[in-house]
Amino acid sequence: MKILVTGGAGFIGSAVVRLAVSRGHSVVNLDALTYAACLANVTPVADNPLYAFEQADIRDRPALDSVFDAHQPDIVMHLAAESHVDRSIDGPGDFIKSNITGTFSMLETARKYWVERGKPNGFRFHHISTDEVFGSLPADPAMLFTEDTPYDPRSPYSASKASSDHLVRAWHETYGLPVVLSNCSNNYGPYHFPEKLIPVVILNTLAGKSLPIYGDGSNIRDWLYVEDHADALLLLATQGKVGRSYNIGGENERTNLELVKTICQILDRLKPRAHGTYADLITFVTDRPGHDARYAIDPSRIRDELGWRPSVTVEEGLERTVRWYLENEDWWRPLLARKGVGQRLGADQKPAQ
């Protein structure tokens, strides 16, 4: 199977690339290499003959056409996107361009390619999206996002992803393009760019810096280990039903405060401080504007139809993640110098210039 992965130099895309190559698939990684990309994420497969890299922007139709023509993929897994909510508050324009216009270009390129080849049966366009398109849930544990939950995006990031989901469904209904969609909860794990909560907390503890928690830390997320997510994505890309969407969750709801305290406990054990506990570094900071209270996934469709379940609890996944950051300073240290990393973003809502 030849798989074209967009965004394969990012966090989740690179996990998909590594896993797909390890399972014997040919993979073409198409990525523009934005600030969030890191080609070191795919070092484990970089010299494998099954792997190829193409630097291209998903808004560039001629470039996409030539990548499709050159590599002739059987499956497209579309992950390339601007992904950080705080950056979407400061500069929504890039999110509209990459997530909406970029997805439109990908759909048109894929449609042309599929039609010109006589609409081969096995072709799939798998669009990877987020649970944030569903909005925010109340605390009631019985309330979960299902595939039928109405869309109610509340940040520029989630609105741009919701728009891209609608485009993907429209290309299926209107043109018959064989699509599969998935909406997943918050990912974490190795190679997570150091602007997201979990790597920020791990790296700040190691540097003895404060651990910033937005608001009162009561926001709830359903945490999904990235390698479990990559496994679910490959299953959906190859066996998901055409035209259907699937919610993927970790079955691991935690408040942000609980999550940060767990990371502190793991580090207290693996790399104890001279005095006290890392939890002493926790600091509550101004909340994110429009911060969604709770996301929680009902994963019964992917579980019942395809037999998929997450393989780790959040405690196991966090321990693996913390150990990975302790052992891979060469990976994360250079990324701390990238623009915006280590700064508070998305807090003041000044209009972009």
Ligand X SMILES: NC(=O)c1ccc[n+]([C@@H]2O[C@H](COP(=O)([O-])OP(=O)(O)OC[C@H]3O[C@@H](n4cnc5c(N)ncnc54)[C@H](O)[C@@H]3O)[C@@H](O)[C@H]2O)c1
Quick one: 93 or 272, whose CB is closer to ligand X?
93
302 near ligand X, judged by CB under 6 A: no
Residue 132 is a catalytic residue: yes
Own/partner contacts of 299-305, CB < 8 Å, gap of 24 or more, are 299/247, 299/248, 299/249, 299/251, 300/146, 301/146, 301/147, 301/246, 301/247, 302/232, 302/235, 302/236, 302/246, 302/247, 302/248, 305/241
Residues 76 and 124: beta-carbon distance below 8 Å? yes
Residue 98: half-sphere exposure toward Cβ, Cα within 13 Å: 24
Handedness of CA 169, 241, 151, 158 (dihedral sign): negative
Q: Tokens standing for 2?
A: 């030849």
7 near ligand X, judged by CB under 6 A: yes
162 near ligand X, judged by CB under 6 A: no
Residues 208 and 109: beta-carbon distance below 8 Å? no
Site string for ligand X, 121-150 (x = CB under 6 A): -------x-x--------------------
Which residue among 18, 25, 161, 294 contacts ligand X (CB under 6 A)? Answer: 161
88 near ligand X, judged by CB under 6 A: no
66 near ligand X, judged by CB under 6 A: no
CA distance linking residue 170 with residue 195, whole number of Å: 33
106 near ligand X, judged by CB under 6 A: no
297 near ligand X, judged by CB under 6 A: no
Write down the catalytic residue from 31, 82, 132, 253. Answer: 132
Write down the catalytic residue from 57, 82, 90, 131. Answer: 131
Write down the catalytic residue from 31, 51, 57, 157. Answer: 157
SS3 at position 267: helix
| Cβ neighbours, 10 Å, residue 96 | 16
Q: What angle do CA 148, 183, 96 make, to 5 degrees?
A: 105
Residue 191 is a catalytic residue: no
CA distance linking residue 297 with residue 146, whole number of Å: 7
Which residue among 3, 21, 27, 37 contacts ligand X (CB under 6 A)? Answer: 37
Which residue among 4, 21, 57, 171 contacts ligand X (CB under 6 A)? Answer: 57
240 near ligand X, judged by CB under 6 A: no
Residue 157 is a catalytic residue: yes
Handedness of CA 3, 7, 8, 12 (dihedral sign): negative
Stretch that binds ligand X, among 53-61, 67-75, 145-153, 231-239 (CB under 6 A): 53-61
Quick one: 178 or 249, whose CB is closer to ligand X?
249
10 near ligand X, judged by CB under 6 A: yes
Residues 202 and 267: beta-carbon distance below 8 Å? yes
282 near ligand X, judged by CB under 6 A: no
Stretch that binds ligand X, among 61-69, 179-187, 300-308, 343-351 (CB under 6 A): 179-187
Residues 183 and 130: beta-carbon distance below 8 Å? yes
Active-site residues: which are they?
A: 131-132, 157
Interacting residues with ligand X (CB under 6 A): 7, 9-13, 31-34, 36-37, 57-59, 79-83, 98, 102, 128, 130, 161, 184, 186-187, 193
